Amino acid sequence: MEQKKIAPLTRGLTGRLRIPGDKSVSHRSVMFSALGRTPVRITNFLHAADCLSTVACMKALGATVEMVNDTELVVTGRGLHGLQEPDVILDAGNSGTTLRLLMGLLAPQPFNAVFTGDASLSKRPMGRVIKPLSQMGAKIVGRKGNTLLPITVCDPGTKLHGMTYESPVASAQVKSAILLAGMFADAPTTVIEPVTSRDHTEKMLAAFGVATEQDGTAVTIRPVADEEYVAPEAIEVPGDISSAAYWLVLASLVPGSHLTLENVGTNVTRTGILDVLAAMGAHIEHTNVRTSGGEEAADLVITSSKLHGTTFGKDMMPRLIDEIPAIAVAALFADGDTVITGAGELRVKETDRLQAIADEWNKLAPGSVVAGEDSLVIHGGMTVQCADVASYGDHRMAMSLAILGAAGQGVVLGRPDCVNISYPTFYDTLQSFMD
């Protein structure tokens, strides 16, 4: 489908909605289970293109994956040292998490593996992972001076060396890659981040018997012995707050809404959007608070309200990095200006999201957005019209533009199918609010 028309909503969003599984947790559940020796039953798995890229890679590395149904699978590995040299090229597709975490996992292995990915992933910076892994003794080569796909991870010929690495970026993908490599190193490995990023790796490794130590923004992992690594019988993936984000914003904006989002992961390293929306005047209540697979989860009840602009920056960024496009929709309909700083990482996501937000929002509300090198200023409360807009093949841009159209005067969205990367049922759910 080349273009999709999204109509304006004519009534508030009501009822209950179950949010699909968390993408970050789904990736990790398959990767970590593939290092165990016993079967792990994974439920509420996100059946979307990115996570299926991870499944295909782990199968190629020797894990057994049985799909019970769309959202349930059983993964059985061959032990911590049981991965096998793949006889195919590992295709990470659009998924930065698949590629960066697997580089860390494969760097210490006594075999070679070759990675490819789609056009978007082939432009994204991989030096941020290759450089620290190489400092540990990994042998990784890639295009453009070992910074871009295609990438080959070679047998290092010896154990990797534990080290302390001060990362210039707050990135869970970088942190996780180094920690995974650190499990196989000859001494403890510490990653220090400028601001703490999402901690799903640390939380899930704990469920496999692997302890990490957190000290401020530093995380340390020790070499892990075979017998220490014990797979749990089951992992329940909580719902993805990054997918919930679209409904949190849309229900806040559309008058008459009273919507319950069931089973949303509320790990504090991911809940920046709840803090920002609250600061903008949103009404979001937590009910049924619990833990799901070692992660906090809750049902979130949103009641529409008038929003106003806000300001946030670098310290908040890792807690809402993927939600900036959705927050930028809220900001467009809010009263007053929203100023977002310290957001340079958005330029190296699936597309340059700072530029994409400025270009597309300005088609719908001319003069509403100014993008700086690492910032966005969004003038809220301007007249919003219908326009042809581009998703750039970026799932989060597509879904944000769709809710922008639904809250405003509609959009005609180019390359809409990319929502399959993280939320294949997104348009069906949006349609259910229109019927």
Closest approach of ligand S3P to the CB of residue 251, in Å? 23
- Which strand (E) or helix (H) includes residue 361? helix 353-364
| Dihedral, 248, 203, 124, 322 alpha carbons, nearest 10 | 10
List C-alpha distances in Å: 4 to 88, 362, 413, 417, 427: 36, 19, 5, 9, 10
Set 91, 118, 322, 394: catalytic member: 322
Tell whether the torsion through CA atoms of 97, 103, 109 and 112 is positive or negative.
positive
- Which of residues 180, 204, 321, 371 is near ligand S3P by CB under 6 A? 321
Stretch that binds ligand S3P, among 74-82, 149-157, 169-177, 301-309 (CB under 6 A): 169-177
Measured CA to CA, the distance from residue 92 to residue 76 in angstroms comes to 21
Using CB under 6 A, which of 173, 263, 304, 310 touches ligand S3P? 173
Please, which of residues 182-211 interact with ligand S3P by CB under 6 A? 197-198
CB of 130 to ligand S3P, least distance (A): 14
Determine the size of the site formed for ligand S3P (CB under 6 A).
Answer: 12
Among 322, 323, 360, 394, binds ligand S3P (CB under 6 A): 322
| The token pair that represents 160 in the structure block | 């990797």
CB of 18 to ligand S3P, least distance (A): 21
Instruction: Give exposure, 162-183, as e/b (b: 16+ Cβ within 10 Å).
Output: bbebebebbbbbbbbbbbbbbb
Is position 271 an interface residue for ligand S3P (rule: CB under 6 A)?
no
Does 322 participate in catalysis according to the annotation? Answer: yes
Which of 94, 171, 243, 252 binds ligand S3P (CB under 6 A)? It is 171
Does residue 172 touch ligand S3P according to CB under 6 A?
yes
By CB under 6 A, is residue 24 in contact with ligand S3P? yes
Q: Which stretch binds ligand S3P (CB under 6 A): 150-158, 170-178, 213-221, 246-254?
A: 170-178
- Do the beta carbons of residue 234 and residue 42 sit within 8 Å? yes
Picking from 29, 146, 331, the residue whose alpha carbon sits closest to that of residue 323 is 331
Q: Which residues bind ligand S3P (CB under 6 A)?
A: 24, 96-97, 171-173, 176, 197-198, 321-322, 345
Active site residues: 322
